[in-house]
Amino acid sequence: MHHIQYGTKQITFSIANRKRKSIAVEVHPDTSVQIKAPLDCRLEDIKRIVSKRSKWIITQQKFFEQFLPETPKREYVPGETHSYLGRKYMLKVIESEENKVKLQGGYLVAYSQDSTEENIKHLLTEWYYKRATKVFAKVYDEAFQKFNQYNIPKPEMQIKRMKNRWGSYTSSGNILINPELIKASSICIDYVFTHELCHFIERNHSKRFYNLLEKIAPDWQRWKLKLEKTI
């Protein structure tokens, strides 16, 4: 993840390098910003483009924000409870010259010089995203192995916030995963990936789809119920 400053706002964006000639700026419905750039594109050039498009980016984010799901108000103060991989951790804020977040015992510890709500929220959001990127990739690899007998190509996995879904299989053949899923247990995450991979074979929620899901994940209803009660 990279950042640029636009007035009092900080724009966070990810970069996807592709075989292309120009730089494209995309703002997704979850308000995340992704830059598609040529393979040999320099970070300085990307930041310059993002800076030029900052006003448009902020406008798009404000538009999409009205459609985002409401979540319980978080104050990001010491003692507040936050979930990670199915467990709850108490937030602890420690003054430090280095900005970082760590799991220590039963605590989710945020180290920072600035303990304001906005800054702690930013640190935790970035930490959750980094952990989701790593954990989802590992769980996805393990879930995909269940489909070896079907000889299907591995769909691209993308992390996207969604209003009413944990995961989605797109018409373009990609799997979208809600970053909030990182707060659930690994086996629940595995269930979501397995569910979406079944759609690669059976697109609709037909009887054949559920027969396939039952064959690959016999306990899927148990994990679906656990997921619904976790977050």
Q: Residue 66 has what pLDDT?
A: 63
Calpha distance 29→183 (Å, rounded) = 21
Give long-range contacts, CB 8 A cutoff, 24+ apart: 88-91: 91/120, 91/124
**C-beta separation of 136 from 159 below 8 A:** yes
pLDDT digits (tens, 9 = 90+) for 128-155: 999 999 999 999 999 999 999 998 999 9
DSSP track, 58-106:
HHHHHHHHTTSPP-------TT-EEEETTEEEEEEEEE-SS-EEEEETT
Considering the entire predicted model, what is its pTM? 0.66
Identify the structural domains of the chain with CATH numbers, from first to last: 2-65 (no CATH), 81-132 (no CATH), 133-230 (3.30.2010.10)
Nearest to 224 by CA among 167, 169, 175: 167
pLDDT beyond 60 at 68: no
In a 13 Å sphere around the CA of 8, the CA atoms on its Cβ side amount to 1
Mean pLDDT of the chain: 88
Asked if pLDDT for residue 229 goes beyond 60, the answer is yes
pLDDT for 69 equals: 53
Q: Encode pLDDT of 151-208 as tens digits.
A: 899 999 999 888 778 898 887 888 999 999 999 999 999 999 999 999 999 988 888 9
Instruction: Give the whole-number percent of the chain exceeding pLDDT 70.
Output: 94
